Amino acid sequence: MSDVLEIIKNLETRLLKTYGNPLAKYKKTQDDVHMTYYVGRLMKEQGHKYIILGPETYYSESAMHDAFLAGQLISKADRKQMRKDLIEELKEEMSYAIKNIDLEF
């Protein structure tokens, strides 16, 4: 079992070296707070249990994984919609430009 823990520790160290701490300088927004409650609800719907100790709430490793995955999936959906919106905007601009080409020779 200690081999597995060593592998996990090495992975954590490698990821920290690679990505650093992206939360260190991040300023949380109101939308972040809303998403926290949303993901908390998802955790309940997924059947994850939690422990409340004073003002803190603790979830299992499995719940943390699901929360991370939910964030990735939401982000992916947001990027897909942004690309779609951007392409539509560019198509409209190109269409407008083509319709208004001055073909004077």
pLDDT tens digit sequence for 3-52: 888 998 999 999 999 999 988 989 999 988 898 889 889 999 999 988 88
pTM for this predicted structure: 0.60
Compute CA distances 1 → 13, 40, 60, whole Å.
19, 31, 19
Residue 45 pLDDT? 92
pLDDT digits (tens, 9 = 90+) for 60-94: 889 989 999 998 898 888 888 888 888 999 999 88
The pLDDT of residue 99 is 85
Q: Which residues of 70-94 are buried (b: 16+ CB within 10 A; e: fewer)?
A: beeeeeeeeeeeeeeeeeeeeeeee
Phi, psi values for residue 94, rounded to 5°: -65, -40
- Minimal CA–CA distance to 11: which of 3, 71, 68? 3
